[in-house]
A and B are shown apart, each in its own frame.
Chain A
Amino acid sequence: SYELTQPPSVSVSPGQAATITCSGDAFPKKFAYWYQQKSGQAPVLVIFEDYKRPSGIPARFSGSTSGTTATLTISGAQVEDEGDYYCYSTHPNGNQGVFGGGTKLTVL
């Protein structure tokens, strides 16, 4: 089965850049998407189609891909950015979805 691999945790100080990676064999053939989930809440889309930001998402959130790795970067991370981040993509041979295992971002 197709898998997306993320680091379990990332920790940065406020104002530093936070970088979360997601490895998947189907990148860049398939788009990468990123979701933020805060405790007890539904996920929120922060990046779609590799690098695009939905309206209302701060400009400090950016996405990129290089080879088989997609990257979410939060430039100048803030305490309110703490939470779990999940990459998402679709199966290389169909329309099934797949999530990465999630990365817990700590900003302190």
Chain B
Amino acid sequence: EVQLVESGGGLVQPGGSRRLSCTASDFSFGNYWMSWVRQAPGKGLEWVANIKEDGSEKNYVESVKGRFTISRDNAKNSLYLEMNSLRGDDTAIYYCGRVKAAAHIDFWGQGTLVTVSS
């Protein structure tokens, strides 16, 4: 069964940095685009970023461009999200997702909470 497990969430001060990880199992990780989606407390889903199978293409939502970097290590079946210059409105549960047909997420992790606060 496909499994995605996020880690790295926690409390971080405004202006700080955090690196999220997502470890995948039970599927050929290197054959799929992957994505990050976040959900602020009590709010809707917001697509954040995605990355092509070989890492050659990356896309970001406008609000995180220049601050967040998505990356992957196919040898370790792992996806990452490096977050810098964090702000209060980055507070959210961050979900990792497997992308099917380079379009939609067909499997989701359970999420990791990032709280940006002093």
Which A positions have Cβ atoms within 8 angstroms of B?
1, 31, 33, 35, 37, 42-45, 48, 54, 84, 86, 88, 90, 94-102
Contact = CB atoms under 8 A, between A and B. Distances in A.
Contacts of A35: 45
Nearest to A96: B59
A48 B106 contact: yes
A84 B44 contact: yes
Contacts of A37: 45
24 contacts: A1-B62, A31-B103, A31-B104, A33-B104, A35-B45, A42-B95, A42-B111, A43-B45, A43-B105, A45-B104, A45-B106, A48-B100, A48-B104, A48-B106, A86-B45, A88-B105, A90-B103, A95-B57, A95-B59, A97-B35, A97-B37, A97-B104, A98-B47, A99-B45
Q: Would you call the interface of chain B mostly helix, strand, loop, or mixed?
A: strand
Contact of A45 (B46, B105, B110): B105
A95 B45 contact: no
B2 interface: no
A48 B102 CA distance: 13
Contacts of B37: 97, 99
A88 to B, nearest CB: 6
